[in-house]
Amino acid sequence: MELLANKLRPNKLNDVLGQDHLIGKNKVLSNLVREKKLFNIIFYGKSGTGKTTIALALMNEFNMRYRLLNATINSKKDFEVVIEEAKLYNGIILIVDEIHRMNKDKQDILLSYIESGLITLIGLTNSNPYHSINQAIRSRCELLELHALSEDDIIKGLKRVKEVLPDIKMDNKTIKYIAKLSDGDIRYAYNLIEFIYYGFNKEITIENINEVNSKPSFFTDKNEDGHYDMLSAFQKSIRGSDVDAALHYLARLIVSGDYDSIYRRMIVIAYEDIGLANPGIGPKVVAAIEASERVGYPELVKPLSVVVIEMALSPKSNSADAAINAAIQDIMSGNVGRIPEHIRTTSPNYKYPHNYPNYWVDQQYLPDNLKGRKYYNPRKNKFETEMYNFNQKIKQ
């Protein structure tokens, strides 16, 4: 039996839900279709955002020969068959689902054909490609992130259900409830509706949903308590050193099941808000995340709670974040300047600091037009104060 989600899958790019940053007038994917040009692309984003849908819609738009494989399910032999087909037809589009799981053997046989253009690769993954995909593959692809669908996008998709289930009984209040419950995942919404449709005599009600659905329904209006608002509240509670609020929002995020968002946000907090006030927190956060991924739910709450408590109780400093942002602002505004001659690669005039007392020697490093420019301003905490005082002492 064909699933409802597949029956409702759009065939054209303009019918895809959401992704307004990629689809529409003067947007990159629509422009590629207009120009009839396709490149190696990796689409990444959480489940239900439309990665496969967009890939297949592009194939319909381009009317090109393609094959869809799964990096986990399909064997090396399957990939070799696609390569032979590409040779026969002088090119093919290969869509690889779960591309982050593609092992080295499969990568090795594909690389030269991707490089030559015989195979155009479309990769799909719900993992961060910068961490999970081999650099050799990644460097040959454009990386495009898909965003979680808004409630309005989900509602628009749910109103299409009557096209394939004309006798369904579902009012607007229930549609909005499912949209909130779906948390940006249209596939989840369609699968839930289909289950209720056949399980409750074609009648979709909030009561029927709650009877079988284990997902918590504490999501309220998107402008008050949406998923991104929870992530924001989580970060601001840690930044504000409110350990109890931090644990509260951590618990809500854990129950929502979007662990990847928790992990990403924790790493950002460690380096943005705590930073040099407790420089050991970054590796601790990464270690806690790795432990959580190994043990899975529900045990992952233990390493996460330990490190979140330390994050909330830690002294705070955004000096590093402010410093690099100021430096980037100079670069973006064209305030760059020529690298001083004596610190260029082949200069004989460079003074090697390790050959001098205290391993420091007075010489200019910034370009002339930025001489004396200060990006880093230490905050008042033990670690930064000690480092700054030591730095000033050796310069004296």
Interatomic CA distance for residues 101 and 73, integer angstroms:
10
Distance CA 387, CA 382 (A): 9
DSSP per position, 55-81: HHHHHHHHT--EEEEETTTS-HHHHHH
Residue 223 has pLDDT above 50, yes or no: no
Q: In the chain, what percentage of residues exceed pLDDT 70? A: 96
Q: What DSSP designation does 334 have?
A: T
pLDDT tier for residue 222 given thresholds of 50, 70 and 90: very low
How far is 308 from 302, CA to CA, in rounded Å? Answer: 10
Residue 224 has a pLDDT of 37
Neighbours of 96 (CB within 10 A): 26
| Residue of 154, 194, 148 whose CA lies nearest to 172 | 154
Instruction: Extract the tokens encoding 104.
Output: 């080295």
Answer yes or no: is pLDDT of 145 > 80. Answer: yes
CATH architecture of 4-145: 3-Layer(aba) Sandwich (3.40)
List, in sequence order, every residue forming a beta bridge with 41; answer none if it has no partner.
122, 142
Q: What is the pLDDT of residue 170?
A: 92
Least confident of 168-182, 214-228, 333-347: 214-228
Q: What is the reported pLDDT for 221?
A: 39
Lowest pLDDT segment from 94-98, 151-155, 179-183, 366-370: 179-183
- Give me the chain's average pLDDT, please: 89
Domain ranges of the chain: 4-145, 151-212, 222-313, 319-378
Sheet holding 119-125, edge to edge: 66-70, 92-97, 119-125, 41-44, 142-145
Whole-prediction pTM: 0.59
* DSSP 8-state assignment for residue 166: T
pLDDT in tens, 270-326: 999 999 999 999 999 999 999 999 998 889 999 999 999 999 999 999 999 999 999
pLDDT of 101 strictly over 60: yes
Whether omega before 298 lies within 30 degrees of 0, making that bond cis, reads yes
* Tally of CA atoms within 13 A in the half-sphere of 196 that contains its CB: 24
The percent of residues in the chain predicted with pLDDT above 90, rounded, is: 59
> Which architecture, in CATH terms, is 222-313?
Up-down Bundle (1.20)
Provide φ and ψ at 44, rounded to 5°. -130, 150
| Span between the terminal Cα atoms of the chain, in Å | 78
Decide: 13 and 23 in contact? Cβ < 8 Å: yes
Band (pLDDT 50/70/90 cuts) for residue 244 is very high
Q: Domain 319-378 - what CATH class? A: mainly alpha
Confidence of residue 214 (pLDDT cuts 50, 70, 90): low
Q: Would you identify the CATH topology of the domain 151-212?
A: Helicase, Ruva Protein; domain 3 (1.10.8)
